[in-house]
Amino acid sequence: MTEAVTASTPLSDDEVRRIDVYWRAANYLSVGQIYLLGNPLLREPLRRSDIKPRLLGHWGTSPGLNFCYAHLNRVIKARDLDMIYIMGPGHGGPAAVANAWLEGTYSEVYPDVSRDGPGMERLFRQFSFPGGIPSHVAPETPGSIHEGGELGYSLAHAYGAAFDNPDLVVACIVGDGEAETGPLAASWHSTKFLDPVRDGAVLPILHLNGYKIANPSVLARISEEELVQLLDGYGYRPVVVSGDEPESMHRKMALALDQALDEIAGIQRAARDGGDTARRRWPMIVLRSPKGWTGPKVVDGLPVENTWRSHQVPLTGVRDDPEHLALLEEWLRSYRPGELFDEEGRPFPALTGLAPEGERRMSANPHANGGLLLRPLKLPDFRDYAVPVGKPGTTTSEATRVLGTFLRDVVAGNPSNFRIMGADETASNRLGDVFAATDRVFEGERLPTDEYEIPAEPGGGRGGSSPRRLFAPHGQVMEVLSEHLCQGWLEGYLLTGRHGLFNSYEAFVHIVDSMFNQHAKWLKVTRRLPWRRPIASLNYLLSSHVWRQDHNGFTHQDPGFLDVVMNKKPEIVRVYLPPDANTLLSVGDHCLRSRDYVNVIVAGKQPALNWLPMDAAIAHCTRGIGIWEWASTDGGADPDVVMACAGDIPTLETLAAVDILRQLFPDLRVRVVNVVDLMRMEPDTEHPHGLPDREYDALFTTDKPVIFAFHGYPYLIHRLAYRRHGHDHLHVRGYKEEGTTTTPFDMVMLNDLDRFHLVMDVIDRVPSLGGRVAHIRQRMADQRLALRAYTREHGEDAPEVRDWTWPY
Amino acid sequence: MTEAVTASTPLSDDEVRRIDVYWRAANYLSVGQIYLLGNPLLREPLRRSDIKPRLLGHWGTSPGLNFCYAHLNRVIKARDLDMIYIMGPGHGGPAAVANAWLEGTYSEVYPDVSRDGPGMERLFRQFSFPGGIPSHVAPETPGSIHEGGELGYSLAHAYGAAFDNPDLVVACIVGDGEAETGPLAASWHSTKFLDPVRDGAVLPILHLNGYKIANPSVLARISEEELVQLLDGYGYRPVVVSGDEPESMHRKMALALDQALDEIAGIQRAARDGGDTARRRWPMIVLRSPKGWTGPKVVDGLPVENTWRSHQVPLTGVRDDPEHLALLEEWLRSYRPGELFDEEGRPFPALTGLAPEGERRMSANPHANGGLLLRPLKLPDFRDYAVPVGKPGTTTSEATRVLGTFLRDVVAGNPSNFRIMGADETASNRLGDVFAATDRVFEGERLPTDEYEIPAEPGGGRGGSSPRRLFAPHGQVMEVLSEHLCQGWLEGYLLTGRHGLFNSYEAFVHIVDSMFNQHAKWLKVTRRLPWRRPIASLNYLLSSHVWRQDHNGFTHQDPGFLDVVMNKKPEIVRVYLPPDANTLLSVGDHCLRSRDYVNVIVAGKQPALNWLPMDAAIAHCTRGIGIWEWASTDGGADPDVVMACAGDIPTLETLAAVDILRQLFPDLRVRVVNVVDLMRMEPDTEHPHGLPDREYDALFTTDKPVIFAFHGYPYLIHRLAYRRHGHDHLHVRGYKEEGTTTTPFDMVMLNDLDRFHLVMDVIDRVPSLGGRVAHIRQRMADQRLALRAYTREHGEDAPEVRDWTWPY
């Protein structure tokens, strides 16, 4: 299935020379960034004082990245391509920066780093220098949507960028180190989710240079037969470009790129004009070149080029060892800087002429600064999807199913601007109504048995009556059993200026903790760069949550993603716990309108009581926190106890506890506070949504016991509220890592979050009750044990618990 | 490369019948678990009251799991194999339980679930029933080392189990859903790390039944040519067994298994006897069978068998719909229970005769209860590796490099019982001395340029003099650029009774947050099961931490794994922050001796001051927290301020601040408290290591300001200490998500953790200083800005900061 590329090529000698000049210039600039403080053009012999005191950076991958960049520039110009460049080996930051400077973009974005000698000196100095720029490809790097720190996500980002961008080609360099990661290994299968008609193309370039930091890489050390089988099996047609002699490598790479782009064009033409949408194998390139190519071959008697020793800084003793200094000068001069830069240090026009112009430059392509292209979503009025609520807590809805009706119309109104990702859980999370408006994307073989009904939920209710649909090459719901792919695709989609939502089982979103971290870090930095335009927020909808894992039990019970999220910058993260269907609608609409945040919404999918009519829901969500007067018995002032709650199940148990308290202690003044926006719990000095102390005190009092029923791990509330005046009186119940496959009520009992235990907590903490009511406390304790016994005998919750509604 | 298996087979008709009977029995028992409360043997017509009120469980994968199990039993007996069974589709819990019961193991482990009619009724009732057992394969399931909740890790667990177990064959069923995950996609490459001489074998069985929860699966919907190319490329020789007609499927599967086991034996023989260690392609099986095989074909007019509708409970209306009830009865009777179980409900001997006996039963194999096989590590005396420390804070060591000398001898002393995992970071984390005792495992092509020196660190110092080593087919260090694989392999290794350590860059351990969660959950449950014997702890060494990411910057700065860890059960998790080399040795030794914990050690790799000689280090680590009198100026009582610290860099900055305070305010009574064992901060009611309030108060006082310099996110300390008496006076500095590629001192400055800011914190909080010393405070503020200016001009820290030592 592979094709060996021979040296026969249509490239003229002049073209070869021009590409080589460009490549040498980029290599020179890459080395200069790692080493030089001054003397950037080597107008004088290199001296110790020209060298940075701390040598930081990664050389090994840079020449390969520069090689690809130069060749892609040729084809962009030749074919007028709309192309962006994703650098999986993003620690090769010098390469990205070098090319952006050569293309002029760098000086446009950062005018003080001009495209001349003084600018070059600043370019070199700032790299990996305090107060300068990071050593990796980073938000600061023009042309990048991909941070090079944590490996594994380049190819998923590339496909995410290509979806719904039919004219875009995303060149994606995959390092052989990165290729060992799980997320990258899964990402190759993205071709099964790419529509040749309405999506763009991804051109993967697997760059094998043989080594990681200190180890050989797996894919470089299997036979070529095996490698090609693997890539064939992933659904590609690999072309191998292999060697270390520049001229022949230029010819081979040019030929391989022309072949690949011809094939891409052919696939797209056949699909778009000819209607041939059968899945094809997409072209890709395998580039085998030496690690640290063109760098020092031997240092201190040890081989460096083409070994792991060239991974970072191949010459480390430059400031102290004259021999190293001489080697560095020899290395830099090997690129013949006098042929590259004029007297003023400007690249010669013959050199810059290779690069495309304007927005065709990969460093200036607006897709890589997606906010430039962002079109707001066309959103229907979420109030139109409200469930009618009269008396609170007497009717039930499945909150996510209600949200699904709204999302259906979001999908319909934004056919190429909004996608929903899910790891095979979209129907299970009861968002099935969206399938009335769109299909699931799937390019694999489709069978009649794939049919489903709308609304559909496997193992759940059948009998939907809406039209049946099949999986299709194009759709706005993407489902693959890989949270990494869902997240990576969505990030790529958002970073290129579109909108979306990732729905997940709550516990399994931990799989992408680290991807979330990196995206939040990216957003934090971009918000401080005026030239980076705001992008749509990354929205998580976490359902099938800890309290209702009836099928699945302990492994599916983990609300700790919230703790991970809260460690990131307050300006970036938002957490919402709507207690019912209408509040979920209000929160969902708000999140879809927001920019540059990570929004986390936790909402249940099971039938649950509705508390608020839409007007009240909007008012409540706008405040983010508030007293539920209709549920309180303190007459608006001076409560004996505050019952706070955040999350649907905690709200249910809290109100059921209040019901019991009303019956037991008619004179007890109970205040109910519900929290939707978790950030309200923080001081306003810590988070933009934080409640000022005065307002917090007005809700929670400063001296009354607060029994807080929380959706997640209880510590999180303490962490948010530890500075609050009444903190010593705050008592939090939440998930304490107890659970199994059991009934809903047994779950809250196991974690002492149940209504009876909340009543016991009140008895224990309200001084006016204490002591006098030991018998009532005992009755509560007995009652919960009796209910557990019922559960264990009958296999379901007792009716008085299961069917409880708000009686007032 | 594939071989089609034909129906010609050596299996006799009687053997086919016997396997089929066994399979039917396991299927019957699987269905029974999902549905039945009573009438287990169908002695009477099925009635509504026989049915569970809540139908929970997963049928779809179960018949395939049972099919494989029955066939593996045949070959175990025929070949006297030592085999365990890993069920990737572990949500097929009914299958695992059914087979353990058929083999008699279940009744041995849980005597009340006897292997007869009453026992079968209990077996059915308890499944996915409150107070019973989970619906997934779980710690409660005999024969399992693999929890079936979160998908992706089966194959990594399988290889981990096989390492250093030369006589073991690990059969690993990979579901086609799981196969889409990143970790599983990477795991196929584990063959490049498996030594045919000293490791056992893994037999992957890729089970394609076409669907996940609601979607078709990718690997089932690519062409067989493509699939076989993929698996070939991963390094296997796949044999495809495909169909739905039981008799021919039995014959094909038996033939395929015999072929595969012959090949495994051949590879091992060639390597072990013939010395032929060239990497071979290992056999594997692709099993294509219908999802929900043998279940209801059509329900309510919709196809069920071989569609996603059979994923969970194919007949959902059994209690309310007589037609469904009849279908269920028909389904159950299709297995002909009268031929399977005798009058007493015992399986007929002809049936049980298929199963192996004793420890050959996969459900009773001791490798699946690894604590049974656990041999303690042979540990050298860690004190022998101590660095000499005279005056505190005047000499430097690289803490992890010192630990590496100890680990070198741990490796040497435990050649088949201890492995170190790392994502290409073992040398970078400066554990390179271990390579004096062992090799890195690698079965890929090896080149002369792979050589390295000992101790070696890429980009760092060269010139090691110890013997050079190459990568080798066997070794005790495993490096692959996949944290998922490192973690999965190590889990499999530990769960089968061995020991190990995972070293990682601190930030990237978040990649396995979710795997950690699941392992911690597994440990929590096993500790409550007396028949599960304790296993070695999962030890993390996190280095290249947030404060010293000189090369890498913001993406590599994330100390939040500690927050994830702290959410798990206190009985399972331990976190250590040794401040220097000798304390790291003491902590490391302690962790390697422990059982059933997850230990997290955070330690720096850069040259850092030594504080404690070994005796003092041991005493300090034993307490886990303590006053450093030699650094304090409170004369042992009544301090004005407590300066607390946890972590190497915070300890450095704290002591440097104390130095400044001594000069500025000679009369100020400062107490220094250092925390090694983070759990000591919690109340003893919350964690077994928690300090009683009395002792906590004696260290921290109840009323004096405490300035706490912490390695991680500051909230974590508040979360641990919020109940402490002096909490209102506790002021924590830590990482607040500010950073880039910069100098070490600039990093602490960016996060207000630097010595000058700590002094300012003291000035702001000690009443006796307040107000009078505004000019000194200003001097501190000026000084840090001047130091930043130095850093930004020179690209390195100023000497007075960089070379500071403890002067007293």
Four-residue CA torsion sign, A53, A56, A58, A60: positive
Q: Indicate the pLDDT class of residue B771, thresholds 50, 70 and 90.
A: low
Min distance A630 CA to chain B CA atoms (Å): 33
Q: Are residues B405 and B357 in the same domain?
A: no
pLDDT mean across residues, chain A:
94
Least confident of A535-539, B299-303, B404-408: B299-303
Nearest by CB to residue A428, choosing from B58, B214, B228, is B214
pLDDT at A457: 42
Over 80: is that where the pLDDT of B9 sits?
no
Q: Which residue has the tokens 């699931």?
A: A440
**Cα A234 vs. chain centroid, distance in angstroms?**
24
CB contact under 8 A, B517 and A558: yes
Over 90: is that where the pLDDT of A1 sits?
no
Among A313, A339, A368, which residue terminates a domain? A368
Question: Is residue B402 included in any domain, yes or no?
Answer: yes
CB contact under 8 A, A552 and B181: no
Mean pLDDT of A119-129: 97
Which of A459 and B412 is assigned the larger pLDDT? B412
Nearest by CB to residue B551, choosing from A56, A564, A737, is A56
Which of B774 and A452 is assigned the larger pLDDT? B774
Rg (CA), chain B: 30
* For testing contact with chain B, the best of A237, A420, A513, A598 (most B CBs within 10 A): A513
Q: Are residues B176 and B317 in the same domain?
A: yes
Helix residue spans in B430-512 (DSSP H): 483-495
Query: Which value, to the nearest 10 degrees, does the dihedral of the CA atoms of residues A649, A653, A654, A657 take?
Result: 180
Least confident of A1-10, A105-114, B723-732, B778-787: A1-10
CA distances from A469 to A436, A450, A475 (A): 8, 9, 11
Residue B172 CA to residue A711 CA, distance in Å, equals 37
Give me A450's structure tokens. 């794939």
Q: Are residues B730 and B756 in the same domain?
A: yes
Percent of chain B with pLDDT over 70: 96
Q: Are residues B749 and B669 in the same domain?
A: yes
Burial code (b: 16+ CB inside 10 Å, e: under 16) for B437-467 equals bbbbbbbbeebebbbbbbbbbbbbebebeee
CA distances from B757 to B659, B784, B785 (A): 13, 8, 11
Q: Are residues B111 and B164 in the same domain?
A: yes
Question: Is residue A554 included in any domain, yes or no?
Answer: yes
Chain B contacts of A233, Cβ < 8 Å? 226-234
Give me B591's structure tokens. 């962790």
Chain B contacts of A787, Cβ < 8 Å? none
- Amino acid sitting at position B259: Q
pLDDT digits (tens, 9 = 90+) for A407-448: 999 999 999 999 999 999 999 999 999 999 999 999 999 888
* Closest C-alpha to A272, from A53, A474, A514, A478: A474
Q: Are residues B338 and B393 in the same domain?
A: no
Mean pLDDT of A535-556: 92
Residue A808 CA to residue B219 CA, distance in Å, equals 55
- What three-state secondary structure class fits A295? coil
- Does the interface predicted TM-score (ipTM) exceed 0.90? yes
pLDDT at B469: 64
pLDDT mean across residues, chain B:
94
- Amino acid sitting at position B749: M
Chain B contacts of A150, Cβ < 8 Å? 507-508, 511, 555-556
Residue B314 CA to residue B211 CA, distance in Å, equals 14
Q: Are residues A697 and A726 in the same domain?
A: yes
Nearest by CB to residue B482, choosing from A180, A442, A792, is A180
Min distance B338 CA to chain A CA atoms (Å): 28
Nearest by CB to residue B508, choosing from A136, A150, A303, is A150
pLDDT digits (tens, 9 = 90+) for B679-692: 999 999 999 999 99
**pTM, entire model:** 0.97
Question: Is residue A607 included in any domain, yes or no?
Answer: no
CATH number for position A577? 3.40.50.970
**Cα A779 vs. chain centroid, distance in angstroms?**
49
CATH number for position A650? 3.40.50.920
Give me B652's structure tokens. 């450095």
CB contact under 8 A, B230 and A226: no
Task: Please list the residues that pair with A699 across neighbouring strands.
Answer: none
Q: Write out the H or E segment, with its range, that includes residue A528.
A: none
Q: Which residue has the tokens 């009706």?
A: A405
pLDDT at B454: 53
CB contact under 8 A, A311 and B459: yes
Chain A contacts of B551, Cβ < 8 Å? 56-58, 128, 135, 312
Task: Please list the residues that pair with B172 across neighbouring strands.
Answer: B86, B204
pLDDT at B637: 85
Q: Are residues A390 and A364 in the same domain?
A: no
Question: Is residue B561 included in any domain, yes or no?
Answer: yes
pLDDT digits (tens, 9 = 90+) for B251-290: 999 999 999 999 999 999 999 998 887 889 999 999 999 9
pLDDT at A552: 82
Question: Is residue A721 included in any domain, yes or no?
Answer: yes
Four-residue CA torsion sign, B323, B329, B332, B333: negative
pLDDT digits (tens, 9 = 90+) for A205-216: 999 999 998 899
How many Cβ atoms are within 10 Å of B99's Cβ, its own excluded? 31
Nearest by CB to residue B444, choosing from A1, A221, A794, is A221
- DSSP letter assigned to residue A663: H
pLDDT digits (tens, 9 = 90+) for A680-728: 999 999 999 999 999 999 999 999 999 999 999 999 999 999 999 999 9
Mean pLDDT of A511-519: 98
Residue span of the structural domain in which B559 resides: 383-455+471-602
Count up the domains in chain A and report the number: 3
Q: Are residues A167 and A275 in the same domain?
A: yes
Give me B284's structure tokens. 């594997």
Q: Are residues A653 and A575 in the same domain?
A: no
pLDDT digits (tens, 9 = 90+) for B30-78: 999 999 999 999 999 999 999 999 999 999 999 999 999 999 999 999 9
pLDDT at A461: 38
Over 50: is that where the pLDDT of A538 sits?
yes
Q: Are residues B387 and B362 in the same domain?
A: no
Residue A30 CA to residue B772 CA, distance in Å, equals 53
Min distance B151 CA to chain A CA atoms (Å): 9
Question: How many helices, marked H, and strands, marked E, lie in chain A?
Answer: 25, 21
Question: Is residue B363 included in any domain, yes or no?
Answer: yes
**Cα A337 vs. chain centroid, distance in angstroms?**
41
Question: Is residue A169 included in any domain, yes or no?
Answer: yes
pLDDT digits (tens, 9 = 90+) for B521-554: 999 999 999 999 999 999 999 999 999 987 788 9
Percent of chain B with pLDDT over 90: 90
Over 50: is that where the pLDDT of A4 sits?
no
Residue B563 CA to residue A152 CA, distance in Å, equals 24
Four-residue CA torsion sign, B286, B292, B295, B298: negative
* Closest C-alpha to B202, from B258, B88, B283, B271: B283
* Closest C-alpha to A325, from A37, A95, A40, A50: A50
Over 90: is that where the pLDDT of B782 sits?
yes
Question: Is residue A652 included in any domain, yes or no?
Answer: yes
pLDDT at A38: 96
pLDDT at A470: 74
Q: Are residues B427 and B334 in the same domain?
A: no
Residue A298 CA to residue A40 CA, distance in Å, equals 24
B318: which residues sit within 8 A by CB, 6+ positions away?
B35, B48, B51, B55, B324, B325, B328
Among A368, A401, A422, which residue terminates a domain? A368
Mean pLDDT of B576-598: 98
Helix residue spans in A334-426 (DSSP H): 337-340, 349-352, 399-413
CB A120 within 8 A of CB A345: yes
Q: Indicate the pLDDT class of residue A468, thresholds 50, 70 and 90.
A: low
Among B583, B602, B621, which residue terminates a domain? B602
Nearest by CB to residue A459, choosing from B234, B313, B553, is B313
- Amino acid sitting at position A10: P
* For testing contact with chain B, the best of A213, A310, A442 (most B CBs within 10 A): A213
